[in-house]
Structure 1
Amino acid sequence: MPVPPSDSDVDLVDFRSTPERTIHDLTGYGPLLALGRYRYLRARPPLAPQRHDSLLVLALPVKGDVAFVVDDDPRTVRPGQALRIPPGRSYRTGVPVQPRGELVWLLLRTGPESDLSTGPLHRAVAALSAPRGPDQWAVPDLIPGELRRLDNAGAPGDWLTTALLEHRSSVVVLELARSLERVRRETTAASAPPRPGPAPVHPAVADALAWLEEHLSEPCGVQDLIEVSGLSEGRFYRMFREGTGTTPKDYLLRRKTALAYQWMRTEPDVTVSRVAHTLGFSSSQYFATVFRRYHGFAPTTGSASWRNQLRG
């Protein structure tokens, strides 16, 4: 997107605009370096391999899917998603010919020269550059509107227009950082069963939990756990929360979606409908809603990405 790297100047940026490529120079505004938009009205040659030592790239498709290869890992990014490319990682387009479409990208400085200790925008860049968490995720609903406002701001020609571009670019960066942090927290929380609460687990509840682990890949529900425990419904709910710190339904859905995650990760060709039916969800739509709640992204997004990785 910015400029193909040479051996000595991997962080130089080509600010020249063309009829299909508009680039705004934001140099001098904290970590902001450049804002660009590609509008490919016809198929174009692929992007040459690129890498930046101290620059963070954020790519946001507006129209049409965009295929990337990041460190030999194929990624398909769709409108409503963001892709971050931290410093030091190589990237290129993942198809021989780039199809028609639109893409917005932001280039941000990282490292000592950006003084990451000052201000929320610098902290957001540091969060977006951190290695932990996914590199591709669903963006907040307000991001498409902010991207349209960036497009309508026009080219910098006076201090007001330049200030608007800086402000709206900063809003996009801050919202992306907040959404990525939320996905990180949710993914971490969903990757492990809930921790037991302060009270010891009641033996009857422990029996129900053991039974659940043995039958997790089968259709089963809270009523099955109650029957296995031998407790009354009210007493089971009370003992369960005291022993696990959460409700039976939350525990069950968390464990079911964790199993689904592992299944689709190791068997990318499996369909979402099959997973949902096998695990006892009433519909694939309900399964997708629950999966997204616990993992931060739709199961279709994850399975497609894993399938591309294994086939790439």
Structure 2
Amino acid sequence: MHTVAILVLDHVVPFDMAAPMEVFGRTRLPDGRSPYRVRLCAESPDVRADGFQLRVSHGLDVLAGADTVIVPGCSEHAGAPSPRALAALREAADAGARIASVCAGAFVLAEAGLLDGLRATTHWVAADELARRYPEVKVEPDVLYVDNGQILTSAGAAAALDLCLHMIRSDLGSAVAADAARLCVMPLEREGGQAQFIVHEQPPVPRGSTLEPVLEWIEDHLADEITLGALAVRSGMSERTFSRRFREQTGTTPLQWLLRARVRRAQYLLENSDRPIERIAQQAGFGSPTAFRERFRKVVGTTPQAYRSAFHGKERVMAGHS
């Protein structure tokens, strides 16, 4: 039987911990046997979670004999992981255990040195901080999980389900993983990646900047054809000067800014209207529906239709009804 050890640190996020417990604990082979033994382990018996106290039956010694070790994320109140916990993680990895993290658990793996030189992900909100604190880690903020073989990382708590199902499929095949997915009431593979959940804020522009009027004009004319030359003329500069000034003040190019603005407009219309894709493509300034689909997928990581299915507000309050 395959032992899955879940390393619980102080201020653990409950769902980050519960997701792998539930998925591996419910998995069954065709003959009804359970292929996984799930063990919660911690440095001390009593662990603080957000909102409650957790009593853990197993210590760090369980990691030494585990086949898979999973590190859930912790809240912002958590301090640095203890040297003992980090050492136990490194020893488990040296012994050949598969090591995985959920959400901010990637910070613990990085602190242990297990992500050095590897691709990794975490919740998109924390991705920049992970990259800043651990520059030797190749952070990929737009995916649901990353599998490096022995070391795996996942994005937010829901992505832990995707990662667990991926590991089950690797261990036991697609049929067993599909049964586990049905018990989780989710698909074995989700459309798109984490990019569809990222809020694409435009880079801030200094107040009083000469760019403010032209950026406001862009927002009001997204449906129109907008060229670099037209923006430069409106700003009273040459194209070269305008492009340089724009990058200096925003950190991006005018056309990249324009693309993000059009994507944000399209996302709003997909979420809040029932307009057809062709009309949204026109109103957001993409021209043809084909160009819209290609560029939307490049930025958001999924198709406009899939994005609408996931994020459209379907409930409508009818006049005269509560």
Per residue, is there more strand in 1 or in 2? 1
Name the TM-score, length of structure 1 as normaliser. 0.45
* TM-score after normalising by structure 2: 0.44
